[in-house]
Chain A
Amino acid sequence: MTDSGVRLIGGEMLKWSDEAGDSGRLPVRGAVLAELLTQVVPSGSRVLFAGPHDRALVRQVARRAASVTCLLRSLSDGSDLAGGPDDVEVWCGALDKLGGAGDFDVVVALDGLDRLDTPDSCPLGWREVLTRLAQMVVSGGRLVVAVENELGVHRLVEVDRSEMRQANQWWQLAGRWAADPAQLNAVLAEAGLPQAMWYAGYPRPGVPELLLDARAAAECVPGSVPARLLDAACSGDLGDRLLLGDPRELVAGAVRGSLADRLAPFWVVVADPSGTKLPGALVQEGGPDPRWAVVSSLEVDSGRWLRRPATEPAVVRTSGRVTRDPGRLTGRVPGGSSLEQQLLAACRSHDLPAIRSLLRGYAAWLAGQQAGDHLPGWGMFATFDNVANDRDRFALLDPGWAWTERVEPADALARVLRRFAIRLVESDTPRPWPSSLDVHELTRVLHAIVGAPADDRTLYDGIRLEAEIEATLRGEAAEEQARLEASLVVGGPGAMLNRPRGYRELVAAHTLLSQELQHQRARAASAERQLRAVENQLDKVQGTLRAVRASASFRAGRVATMPLRRLRRLTR
């Protein structure tokens, strides 16, 4: 035991901190996991957090549990936690030093299986780690464990693999990956902890935004509610990571191939002999910012997905002209894929009639929502990624957003169409419009298609509103809003939605630009040739003119008409 109250079990890491990101990522965190733990950890239970977890998660459980123990491998992390205000016991060292059975009602290992050993451990593969964790659970207790999937979407789009560049955390490579759910089940069953719930987790292990019943992930079809949840989970901010390509495309393919469970970035397994009923999905909507994010439980009832916000009572949040009411998310989740997905698909296949039909259907629906000459507050947030369309029945996906002021239909449309134009250009989605059209011109075309032609003023209104909303949602100051606005005016989409182009998109953009450059060079050369031809003609004409002027007849004529010309000059 150290002075700060850490129980040293052996193998602790002295110059290492998982909380500072020494292993390439921060401890697992997020409101979705907080909600899962609320539902899984009974009050008054003895809980073990195995591996690094965000302090907020630990603190939340500690408030209800009889006792909380945290097993950490970093001495500095352990000392910091033990010396802090949270009433938790800290064990520091390697999992393999614990030995024997534990007596915990719940063992939580949501950070995964790979940060429980140390360079001093005998090498532990995932089977060994899982078995040891299961042994820590008292008979009848629960194990909640997250397992990163080697074949997860997040890995398949990864450019920079830390193990390939021999990053510090990869002191051992063997037995790291558990890529087969059946093998995981077998290990749990052998340990006497049959899995009660298996969630497919998206978009990446460290910051889950969606836990979806793995069966629903495997069986869902394009256009279904689970398919849309998967798409939305992969559409958020991907940080500054380099990517091979857009994960949304990959997950859409996974849905088509009934593989969305097998290609999940991670799985969360709840092993619980008592078979506690858990929701069909836990989802965080409204972006990663906790000021706006709302976590909801989703249940299937007679084929319908019903949503219930987890935070009760629902607190309305407001900033600037944006307000968010989580209470409005309660109720049935509309079916159909998002209008954005449908439009992108129509763009890819150059199906102009479908594009026109979808856009006009949307515009008619939006116009039908008007009260008097303005839209309800949510109208400003009826963006294509936030509207579901099921055979021309449109519905808001996240009705929690609203504009605090009067929404002019033209303003809402200007923002929505610009956002989609940005999305099109940014994702390099093949589209039926000439590739030479930039974001502004595309926006104008979209306006034209919906029958609401845009002048420069309307286009600028769309930019202004998009910048204001983005800055408000990010909690950024007026300067940042001005910067965003300037970026949109230039037509630079990348900085706007924070979705970096993947290598695939860069290659495609490079190819297109090369072709266009080649063409523009040919055009410039052709124009040069034409110019030379015209100059030659001009030279000839001027030569003829000079010859005429030098001729005797011309000079005689000038002499003859001189009095007349002088007279005209005088009378002017």
Chain B
Amino acid sequence: MDHRNHWYGHSAVFARYCGLDPARPPAVAGHIQHGWTFVHGFGNGHRPGNGVGKFVWSDACRRRGWARGWRDFYVLGSPWAYLLTMEPEPARPIERTGTLWYPFHGWDTNDLCGDHVRLISTIQEVEQGPVTVCLYWLEYENARIRQMYEAAGFRVICHGHRDKNPTFLYGQLRELRRHRRVASNRLTTAIFYGISVGCEPAVYGDPMLMDGVDPNYEGRDLVPRLWPEMHGTDIDPATARELTVVELGMDHIAPPAEVREVFRWPDKRDG
């Protein structure tokens, strides 16, 4: 199975949803989109061929992929959408406070060019309440970057590695539900996750630039042109929610039996 299906514990979420052991999710007959994207659901260099199921979050991903010659898309919705069906808002929600801020992060293979000091200053200008900064593990493990944010008086956290971390999304969900706002310097997966659990979104600040990334996958300028309404310090919550339902595929949630069939997973009675 494609190892990326396990990233962020996605296969584990689906296994739990299907009544299977989340600690040992079976191999998925295809590739699960692992993050929100303005392209076809799969990253640069990730090219699942035709004849292989591509389980994407939204129909837009299918359309874009289709336009570039890919087939066998199955719009299933995001694993996050499935997680929310199993982890509903607690009957007595925790009082929300402050902002959970996700600085745009580099990847394992690409560094990020940008001025963290200037970004911190912008955050301090905009955010009125306490700020929690969630760094990607790469930046979190970089003591210099981490200390910059800590020195600014922010609480600094990390959701952990995406590999071999089946509870990644659970931790993220817990954190998001504690915060009133979710913000980032780019429109990213975390913003949509936050909106889906009731956070007020904001996208502002230096979007930074990733080194050596195929311009088709960079999106720094493309995304604001495509969704101008999703950028700014105060975004209309109703508009944001409407888009989130579409982008996270919350309107495409399939019943467990259907997921099992398209993943070619065993029936839980067999398993």
State the A residues within 8 Å of B (CB). 350, 352-353, 356, 432-437, 441, 444-445, 447-449, 451, 453, 455, 512, 515-516, 518-520, 522-523
Tell which of B53, B72, B255, B267 has the most Cβ of chain A within 10 Å. Answer: B72
- Mask, B230-271, CB within 8 Å of A = 1, is 000000000000000000000110110110111010010000
Q: Could you tell me if A515 and B50 are in contact, using CB atoms closer than 8 angstroms?
A: yes
Majority-rule SS of A interface residues: helix
Q: Could you tell me if A433 and B74 are in contact, using CB atoms closer than 8 angstroms?
A: yes
- Nearest 3 A/B pairs, CB to CB: A448-B257, A519-B49, A448-B258
Q: Could you tell me if A448 and B75 are in contact, using CB atoms closer than 8 angstroms?
A: no
B72 nearest CB neighbor, chain A only = A434
* A445–B75 alpha-carbon span in the complex (Å): 14
Pick from A353, A433, A449, A522: contact of B49, CB under 8 Å: A522
Q: Does B94 contact A (CB under 8 A)?
A: no
Pick from B51, B72, B257: contact of A453, CB under 8 Å: B257
B50 nearest CB neighbor, chain A only = A515
A523 nearest CB neighbor, chain B only = B49
Q: Does B59 contact A (CB under 8 A)?
A: yes
* A350–B66 alpha-carbon span in the complex (Å): 12
Pick from B252, B255, B264: contact of A449, CB under 8 Å: B255
Q: Could you tell me if A436 and B51 are in contact, using CB atoms closer than 8 angstroms?
A: yes
Pick from A353, A432, A436, A447: contact of B52, CB under 8 Å: A436
Q: Could you tell me if A516 and B50 are in contact, using CB atoms closer than 8 angstroms?
A: yes
**Chain A residues, CB < 8 A from B262:** 433-434, 437, 445
**Chain B residues, CB < 8 A from A435:** 50-51, 71-72
The smallest C-beta distance from A508 to any residue of chain B, in angstroms, reads 12
Q: Could you tell me if B251 and A515 are in contact, using CB atoms closer than 8 angstroms?
A: no
* A455–B260 alpha-carbon span in the complex (Å): 13
Q: Could you tell me if B254 and A434 are in contact, using CB atoms closer than 8 angstroms?
A: no
Q: Could you tell me if A448 and B261 are in contact, using CB atoms closer than 8 angstroms?
A: yes
* A523–B53 alpha-carbon span in the complex (Å): 14
B77 nearest CB neighbor, chain A only = A352
A444 nearest CB neighbor, chain B only = B261
State the B residues within 8 Å of A (CB). 29-30, 49-54, 59, 62, 71-75, 251-252, 254-255, 257-258, 260-262, 264, 267
**Chain B residues, CB < 8 A from A434:** 29-30, 51-54, 72, 74, 262
Knowing A352-B252, A523-B49 touch, does A436 contact B72 (C-beta < 8 A)? yes
Knowing A352-B75, A453-B267, A455-B267 touch, does A441 contact B49 (C-beta < 8 A)? no
**Chain B residues, CB < 8 A from A523:** 49
Q: List 5 A-B contacts (CB under 8 A).
A: A350-B73, A350-B75, A448-B257, A515-B51, A519-B51
* A418–B71 alpha-carbon span in the complex (Å): 24
The smallest C-beta distance from A410 to any residue of chain B, in angstroms, reads 14
Q: Could you tell me if B254 and A356 are in contact, using CB atoms closer than 8 angstroms?
A: yes
Pick from A350, A512, A520: contact of B62, CB under 8 Å: A350
The smallest C-beta distance from A280 to any residue of chain B, in angstroms, reads 41
A519 nearest CB neighbor, chain B only = B49
B30 nearest CB neighbor, chain A only = A434
* A520–B51 alpha-carbon span in the complex (Å): 8
Q: Could you tell me if A519 and B255 are in contact, using CB atoms closer than 8 angstroms?
A: no
* A453–B255 alpha-carbon span in the complex (Å): 10
The smallest C-beta distance from A450 to any residue of chain B, in angstroms, reads 9
**Chain B residues, CB < 8 A from A433:** 74, 262
Q: Could you tell me if B260 and A448 are in contact, using CB atoms closer than 8 angstroms?
A: yes
* A109–B251 alpha-carbon span in the complex (Å): 58
Q: Could you tell me if A441 and B52 are in contact, using CB atoms closer than 8 angstroms?
A: no
> In the complex, given contacts A434-B72, A448-B255, what are 20 additional A-B residue pairs having Cβ atoms less than 8 angstroms apart?
A432-B73, A432-B74, A434-B30, A434-B52, A434-B54, A434-B74, A434-B262, A435-B51, A435-B71, A435-B72, A436-B52, A436-B72, A441-B261, A441-B264, A444-B261, A447-B257, A448-B258, A449-B257, A515-B71, A519-B52
A436 nearest CB neighbor, chain B only = B51
* A437–B261 alpha-carbon span in the complex (Å): 10
* A456–B258 alpha-carbon span in the complex (Å): 16
**Chain B residues, CB < 8 A from A518:** 49-50
Tell which of B50, B59, B267 has the most Cβ of chain A within 10 Å. Answer: B50
**Chain B residues, CB < 8 A from A353:** 251-252
Q: Could you tell me if A516 and B51 are in contact, using CB atoms closer than 8 angstroms?
A: yes
Q: Could you tell me if A350 and B59 are in contact, using CB atoms closer than 8 angstroms?
A: yes
Q: Could you tell me if B72 and A451 are in contact, using CB atoms closer than 8 angstroms?
A: no
**Chain B residues, CB < 8 A from A432:** 73-75
**Chain A residues, CB < 8 A from B267:** 453, 455
**Chain A residues, CB < 8 A from B49:** 518-519, 522-523
**Chain B residues, CB < 8 A from A512:** 71
The smallest C-beta distance from A235 to any residue of chain B, in angstroms, reads 27
Q: Could you tell me if A445 and B258 are in contact, using CB atoms closer than 8 angstroms?
A: yes
Q: Could you tell me if B254 and A449 are in contact, using CB atoms closer than 8 angstroms?
A: yes
**Chain B residues, CB < 8 A from A350:** 59, 62, 73, 75
Tell which of B72, B74, B261 has the most Cβ of chain A within 10 Å. Answer: B261
The smallest C-beta distance from B32 to any residue of chain A, in angstroms, reads 13
* A518–B72 alpha-carbon span in the complex (Å): 15
* A489–B257 alpha-carbon span in the complex (Å): 22
* A518–B71 alpha-carbon span in the complex (Å): 13
* A445–B30 alpha-carbon span in the complex (Å): 16
The smallest C-beta distance from B99 to any residue of chain A, in angstroms, reads 33
